[in-house]
Amino acid sequence: MSEFVLEMKDVYKAFPGVVALDHVQLQLKPGTVHALMGENGAGKSTLMKCMFGIYSMDEGEIYIDGVKTEIHNPMDALEKGIAMVHQELQPIPARTIGENIYLGRYPLKNFGPIKTVDHDKMYADAARVLKEVKMDFDPHTKVGELTVSQMQSVEIAKAVSANCRVLILDEPTSSLTQNEVEALFRIVEDLKSKGVAIVYISHKMDEILRISDEVTIMRDGQYIGTWDAKGLTTDFIITKMVGRELTNLFPPTDNVPGDVVFEVEDFTSINPKSFRHVNFNVRKGEILGVAGLVGAQRTELMEGIFGIRSKTSGKVKYLGKELTITKPKDAIDNGIAMLTEDRRGSGIMAVLSVADNISIASLNQYVEHGIVLNTKKIEQLVKENVEKMNTKTPSSKTPIGSLSGGNQQKVLIGRWLANNPDVLILDEPTRGIDVGAKYEIYCIIADLAKQGKSIIMISSEMAELIGMSDRIMVMCDGRVTGFIDGKDATQENIMELATQFES
């Protein structure tokens, strides 16, 4: 009997124009958390998709309990005891929690000569699984009524319901609050005690060092090595991931904020539980960080400014002139751009090419004679954008959905820069992105500020806010509770303002 519940040997996988996996190894022991780390594009998710049967390997072998096996598709993987919670959630919002948990494997009962779904058993089993992972949800609730973090919890319950022996968690905490992260870690510890091997993919170093037993690092599709997690340091992991030492996590900022150019006055949502009476301004060439805990209504405020959400009162001014913004097109026409928090849901158009995703917001600039697009100019725009952003893609015709998260983010930033906006709202610009790609994004943001662009950056990472912001606006429960100069910002004074709830 092998000491490993699952082994992957010499896995090779190529896509047109790129080698995604170059003879990679992975060995999983039962009852352990095995962290899989590497920059975006290192091949982590591709390796897991080969394990889960989404991709077929070009070369390589998979062993379960020492016995060579083949995994043909995700259903085959589930039957062999392998479950996966994907980074980009894809639930069916119109169906219930119970239906989502048992999708594709509904319990059946005989109804005369035919078989039908046994709904009573399905909901009873779903309730049991939810209770097992300590999630207080009604299995009859429609998934569309849940928050993103709650949907992620349902996906974890779905994996647990399959009685898996190997569970793949791909960026499981990217949308979770700290309390929800702690709940997830309790579930992980419980699964470990039952002998489940967990593959944990995350860019959050503190999580990796806290929860992992072993760490495997990949770089550029290649296997770098596996280490016992005890004794590893963040610096060691980063060096192995990027192939060099990163002496600074943030680039030097030499932007010099000028006069106030963008103002928001008495902004109040139509929803009484959302943002209210918000006032702030941004200077030319300034990076204004926006801090707050989950539920602070930071995203909702920015969506209101951008014309996605309705308001009952409030003004938006640029250079002293009041802007009329009732829909996103109005904001775009007035030189405002917004990079959304949900890259997959409301950012990229996954089935379209890199070129399509870059040019989509500025096509009106390339219309000739009222009906004809100047494709040569669009191609030049895309080429310049890919080079400027240092986007790693086989070609501009590659579907954006096949790129790593960091490169998708660069394409989305490039999309807005093609419009040459004056004000950029960046909502969690580095969520789910590795440390090397983060630095590249930070350099882009710093350069834009140096060019005189006004940047509003929402982030849930304290270090990011402190390392990048000229000023930080802190919100709590829909209100602005204070401003902190970037030089004076600390985690403590940010948290103090972020927890100033009204009595």
Q: What percent of the chain has pLDDT over 70?
A: 96
| Residue 435: pLDDT over 80 | no
| Residue 370: pLDDT over 80 | no
Of the candidates 242, 269, 299, which is a domain's last residue?
A: 242
* Number of domains composing the chain: 3
| Residue 247: pLDDT over 90 | no
| Residue 235: pLDDT over 90 | no
Query: Is 0.75 surpassed by the pTM of this model?
Result: no
Are 134 and 186 members of one domain?
A: yes
Distance CA 295, CA 298 (A): 8
Which stretches of 16-147 are DSSP H helices? 44-51, 74-79, 97-101, 119-132
Are 435 and 389 members of one domain?
A: no
Are 227 and 266 members of one domain?
A: no
Burial of 375 (0-12, 13-18, 19+ CB in 10 A): exposed
Are 211 and 274 members of one domain?
A: no
Residue 31 has, within 13 A of its CA and on its CB side, a CA count of 4
Q: Could you tell me the two tokens for 29?
A: 């022991």
Q: Lowest-confidence range among 212-216, 252-256, 483-487? A: 252-256
Are 88 and 171 members of one domain?
A: yes
For the chain, give the mean pLDDT.
88
Provide the b/e sequence for 115-143 (b: ≥16 CB within 10 Å): eeebeeebbebbbebbeebebebebeeeb
Are 371 and 468 members of one domain?
A: no
Are 416 and 431 members of one domain?
A: no
Domain limits at 492? 248-335+422-503
Those residues with Cβ within 8 angstroms of residue 113's Cβ, 6 or more apart along the chain or in another chain: none
Of the candidates 215, 242, 269, which is a domain's last residue?
A: 242
- For residue 489, being part of any structural domain is answered with yes
- How would residue 177 be classed by pLDDT, with cut points 50, 70 and 90? low
DSSP code for 427: E
Length of the chain: 503
Distance CA 201, CA 199 (A): 7
- Rounded to 5 degrees, φ, ψ at 130 are -60, -40
Q: Are 358 and 382 in contact (CB under 8 A)?
A: yes
Q: Are 55 and 44 in contact (CB under 8 A)?
A: no
Q: Could you tell me the two tokens for 260?
A: 């106030």
Of the candidates 222, 242, 262, which is a domain's last residue?
A: 242
Q: Are 341 and 431 in contact (CB under 8 A)?
A: yes
Are 460 and 405 members of one domain?
A: no
- For residue 1, being part of any structural domain is answered with no
309, 310, 315, 318 alpha-carbon torsion, rounded to 10°: 30
Are 21 and 102 members of one domain?
A: yes
**Nearest residue to 3 (alpha-carbon basis) of 90, 63, 73:** 63
348, 470, 466, 342 alpha-carbon torsion, rounded to 10°: -10
- DSSP one-letter string for 474-486: EEETTEEEEEEEG
- For residue 428, being part of any structural domain is answered with yes
Are 498 and 448 members of one domain?
A: yes
Q: Are 46 and 21 in contact (CB under 8 A)?
A: yes
| Residue 173: pLDDT over 80 | no
**Nearest residue to 402 (alpha-carbon basis) of 16, 10, 8:** 16
CA end-to-end span of the chain = 61
Q: What percent of the chain has pLDDT over 90?
A: 47
**Nearest residue to 133 (alpha-carbon basis) of 45, 75, 196:** 196
Are 83 and 144 members of one domain?
A: yes
Q: Are 193 and 31 in contact (CB under 8 A)?
A: yes
Distance CA 12, CA 483 (A): 51
Average of per-residue pLDDT across 114-121: 90
Query: Which pLDDT does position 503 carry in this prediction?
Result: 59
- Report residue 271 CA to chain centroid gap: 27
Distance CA 359, CA 348 (A): 12
For residue 498, the one-letter residue type is A
Are 222 and 363 members of one domain?
A: no
- For residue 23, being part of any structural domain is answered with yes
| Residue 410: pLDDT over 70 | yes
480-501 tens-digit pLDDT: 999 999 999 988 899 889 888 7
Return the ∠ at Cα 53 (arms to 47 and 59), rounded to 5°. Answer: 60
Select, from the ranges 84-98, 197-211, 213-227, the one with the highest average predicted confidence (pLDDT). 213-227
Distance CA 292, CA 230 (A): 33
Q: Are 82 and 165 in contact (CB under 8 A)?
A: yes
Distance CA 395, CA 415 (A): 16
- CATH assignment of the domain containing 111: 3.40.50.300
Q: Could you tell me the two tokens for 398?
A: 């590659």
Burial of 338 (0-12, 13-18, 19+ CB in 10 A): buried
| Residue 259: pLDDT over 90 | yes
For residue 449, the one-letter residue type is A
3-state secondary structure of 200: strand
For residue 492, the one-letter residue type is E
Beta strands in 163-285 (DSSP E): 166-170, 197-201, 214-219, 222-228, 260-269, 278-283
| Residue 175: pLDDT over 70 | no
| Residue 441: pLDDT over 70 | yes
Which stretches of 403-451 are DSSP H helices? 405-417, 435-450
